[in-house]
């Protein structure tokens, strides 16, 4: 059983998957930092100095109403924190776009497979002739069909 486990782990695709998960987690933190620290503040400023991460709907009916999301959470009030959801949507769209660009670049780097051959060599004079030819145009020898 230990031998089978070792073979399973030694496969290239398992190791590649592990590396992809680790790099993906690190990349996710970078994107979250980019969205929350660089992208959302200017958008919030354009929309009237709104901090998206602090947007919420109070559904508790508590008096006095919470003044911020942190206040509502501190008091244990039920709220709908849709600002974080908006941040997560922007984060997802950025990650999806970057993954799209990476896949597009990798696909461009892959060599296209060569087209299937449409000629064969005459066994007598080695001239290239069409695959369906039964006689060589150069030496007029009969060639067996492919």
Mean pLDDT lowest among 40-54, 77-91, 129-143: 40-54
Task: Judge contact between 57 and 79, C-beta under 8 A.
Answer: yes
Q: Domains in the chain, start-ordered, CATH in brackets?
A: 2-110 (1.10.1200.120), 115-146 (no CATH)
CA distances from 58 to 20, 22, 103 (A): 40, 37, 42
Please tell me whether the peptide bond between 64 and the residue prior to it is cis, using omega within 30 degrees of 0. Answer: yes
Q: What is the pLDDT of residues 78-119, one digit of tens each?
A: 999 888 888 888 878 887 887 788 888 888 887 778 888 899
Looking at the chain, the whole-number percentage of residues with pLDDT higher than 70 is: 97
DSSP SS3 for 42: helix
């Amino acid at each position: 059983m230990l031998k089978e486990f070792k073979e399973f782990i030694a496969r290239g695709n398992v190791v590649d998957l592990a590396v992809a998960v680790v790099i993906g987690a690190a990349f996710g933190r970078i994107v979250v930092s980019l969205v929350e620290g660089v992208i959302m503040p200017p958008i919030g400023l354009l929309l009237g100095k709104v901090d998206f991460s602090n947007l919420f709907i109070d559904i508790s009916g508590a008096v006095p109403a919470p003044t911020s999301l942190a206040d509502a959470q501190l008091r244990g009030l039920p709220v709908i924190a849709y600002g974080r959801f908006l941040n997560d949507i922007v984060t997802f769209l950025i990650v999806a776009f970057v993954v799209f660009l990476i896949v597009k670049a990798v696909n461009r780097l892959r060599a296209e497979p060569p087209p299937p051959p449409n000629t064969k060599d005459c066994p007598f004079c080695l001239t290239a002739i069409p695959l369906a030819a039964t006689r060589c145009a150069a030496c007029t020898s009969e060639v067996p069909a492919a």
